[in-house]
Amino acid sequence: MRLPKYFCVLTLAASMFAGHSFAANVEDYAKLNDFGNARLSPDGKYIAVERYDEISSTLIILDAETQKPLTELTLPPHQSIHNAEWANNDTLIFARSQRFGGEEVKKTFGEIIAISADGKRKKYLYGMIGDSSSSAIQKDKGFAKLINTLEHDDKNIIILATDWDKSGLLNTKPSIIKVDIYTGRRDRIAVSPISNPWVTFDLSGNLRFVSGSDENYMPVTYRYIETAKEWQKIEGIQPLGSFFPVQFLPGDKDFLAEISEAGEANCLYLVKQDNSREKLHCEAGVNIGGSMPSSVNGVPLAILSNATNPNVVMLSGDSEDSRLYESISKSFPGEIVVFKDFSSNGERILFSVSSDKKPSRYYLYDRKSNTSRLVFNSKASLDDSMSGTTTGFNFKARDGLTIHGLLTLPSNHVKGKTPMVVMPHGGPLGISDSWYFHNDVQWLVANGYAVLRVNFRGSGGYGENFMRKGYGTWGKEIQYDIIDATNFVADTQTIDKNRICITGGSFGAYSALMSSILAPQIFRCAIGYAGVYDLSMMFKKGDIPATNSGVRYLDLVLGKDQAELAAQSPAARAGELKTPVLLIHGSDDGRTPLPQAQRLEKALRDAGNQPEMLVVPNEGHGFVRTKNRVLYLNALKAFLDKHIGPAKTATK
């Protein structure tokens, strides 16, 4: 096999996707990506991709050979394509998503929609709008998602559908349903024993397992017994341990599973038909990441592992695919190549390339011509020469727990003289920061700031035990992890320890204020963006307490002790906050409503520390309009410049 030696970039039709780089400016960091979520059809003839503009997105299906668009479907404002997958050579399945009422992330409508590659055939398969192609419109009172496109079945897909109950809330036990993509006919396979399950099928499309959490939020897995049409709980799993079947191997007897014995970070195992196990890969304290496909159905090429120091672990040995992957990766030093889709004959591969410095680009490789070509650049105008280098590290917190972090340094970094911004992530539970390109981080780096991010206790990716250590510790141990990480970096004399500020969004905003209360000697200023500042208010306002499950979640992770909630609330301890504060909030925030920021603003004002405040109308939990993202980023930069000063202003 002749390995690729160069990459041929398209210039005509593809030029509208590839674009050119210009000098870095705030708009490049503020706007959404130009493209995303590209998928190659099984026969390799078509590529589906989502193109974004200011407030809407367009589903585009292109001829893979000519790069000419065949179909363009523009969605209503603020809607996006969700979970697009090819069901067969010319039928794409997708859903729609939208941000509702200022929520933190987009939510799907729970629909299943099919469209042909040429756009002439559309079929509404599931959802509340109903299929208008029928004289009697059948509207579904529920929510569904695609869970299997059935590799060897071009006619059917499998969905997971959950009905609404009389109060308008989701019932807890969803149905697993086979759906004909041409007629819409449905055949229910089974009802899941748990809500929101991960469903595992073998390569023949047979239902085998569901995994998830029970009513008490404990990990659980059930095996499906086809002959009896019933579920069998897998016993012998220790408390907080998990047994998570990932995929079956050819022959449908052995499968890969992510297993944690007692809540520690999981490892990848080969589980054989006789239930014996062989450990394939494990990383101390860090969960195994997702798998990468190969040209052979059911045989993964590699796994992606470690969010703070990403690496690719090959599973297929010395195969043609692994040699090709190694060759392509050498053409992108310092970046991570991911094979996304193979054509069924293995002749074409759609792969992505991304790094800490560059957003994702998509390439199409052709084995016959032995060439690759750039087809989409998610941020074509961004000048990545302004980007800084991100390095992962770990350290011991004050109680001995290992904590992971990421430090991004600007290209003009001078040891011991660069000011630093600490940026805790939101969530806080089950969320984590990764090494890959981050708009807000690189905007600050382009303006001369180092940026520290911390995957504190409660973060995802380090095992169930680590995540649960975030329960009830929002204003205590989690903040100590952030403070200890800041001191750890400062002690290395990498940055200027006398010029450190802290900022974050949502829970990150809470952390910015709470950490400044607990360690006023470290932080010269604090910035809260869409933050929660009064924990007791979380039980009364916003979208979380609007559902029974939301209230149960708050009871579990925060508790009901009012004195403790006050002790962990910046608004109740505003008199202890002496550093300058900037509060940025959207008027329509449905997750942390504006009264959260207003209560803290008044408390600070009454304490004699009048904060600066920017309230942006018609924005929710995090800003989505480019002009408002520009306001946010410029306000962030101006406030930091005033209080700790940039090493060098490098943008215009």
Read off the pLDDT of residues 349-408 as tens digits, 9 standing for 90 and up: 999 999 999 999 999 999 999 999 999 999 988 988 999 999 999 999 999 999 999 999
Closest among 613, 593, 615 to 604, alpha carbons compared? 613
Q: Is the dihedral of CA 590, 218, 163, 114 positive or negative?
A: positive
What would the mean pLDDT of 209-238 be, rounded to a whole number? Answer: 91
Read off the pLDDT of residues 280-337 as tens digits, 9 standing for 90 and up: 999 989 999 889 999 998 899 999 887 788 989 999 878 999 999 999 999 999 999 9
Q: Residue 554 and residue 561: Cα distance in Å, rounded?
A: 12
Strand, helix or coil at 488?
helix
Q: What is the pLDDT of residue 24?
A: 55
Q: For 280-401, where are the alpha helices, taking DSSP H only? A: 320-330
Cα R_g (the chain), whole angstroms = 25
Give the Cβ contact number of residue 97 at 10 Å: 21
- Asked if residues 461 and 432 have their Cβ atoms less than 8 Å apart, the reply is yes
Peptide bond into 428 cis (omega under 30): yes
Q: Residue 522 and residue 514: Cα distance in Å, rounded?
A: 12
What would the mean pLDDT of 418-429 be, rounded to a whole number? Answer: 96
Structure tokens at 649: 């202003």
Q: What is the pLDDT of residue 630?
A: 94
Structure tokens at 110: 């729970």
Q: Residue 279: pLDDT above 50?
A: yes
Q: What is the pLDDT of residue 14?
A: 32
Structure tokens at 289: 């990441």
Q: What is the pLDDT of residue 138?
A: 67
Read off the pLDDT of residues 158-185 as tens digits, 9 standing for 90 and up: 999 998 875 556 667 899 999 999 999 9
Structure tokens at 460: 């995802």
Q: Residue 537 and residue 600: Cα distance in Å, rounded?
A: 12
Q: Residue 9: pLDDT above 80?
A: no
CA distances from residue 311 to 289, 317, 394, 537, 638 in whole angstroms, order as listed: 10, 16, 16, 42, 36
Strand, helix or coil at 489?
helix
Read off the pLDDT of residues 95-126 as tens digits, 9 standing for 90 and up: 988 755 444 456 778 899 999 999 999 999 99
Confidence of residue 457 (pLDDT cuts 50, 70, 90): very high
Q: Residue 33 and residue 50: Cα distance in Å, rounded?
A: 10
Q: Angle at CA 557, nearest 5°, toward 551 and 561?
A: 80
Measured in degrees and rounded to the nearest 5, phi and psi for residue 221 equal -140, 140
Q: Residue 288 and residue 95: Cα distance in Å, rounded?
A: 28
Structure tokens at 561: 């002790």
Strand, helix or coil at 189?
strand
Torsion angle defined by CA atoms of residues 94, 100, 106 and 108, in that order, rounded to the nearest 10 degrees: -30
Q: Residue 651: pLDDT above 70?
A: no
Q: Angle at CA 504, nearest 5°, toward 495 and 399?
A: 70
- Asked if residues 163 and 191 have their Cβ atoms less than 8 Å apart, the reply is no
Which H or E run contains 281?
strand 277-281
Confidence of residue 196 (pLDDT cuts 50, 70, 90): confident
Closest among 647, 250, 232, 593 to 413, alpha carbons compared? 647
Q: What is the pLDDT of residue 215?
A: 80
- Exposure string over 35-64, b if 16+ CB within 10 A, otherwise e: bbbbbbbbbbbbbbbbbbeeeebbbbbbeb
Which H or E run contains 341?
strand 336-342
Give the Cβ contact number of residue 126 at 10 Å: 26
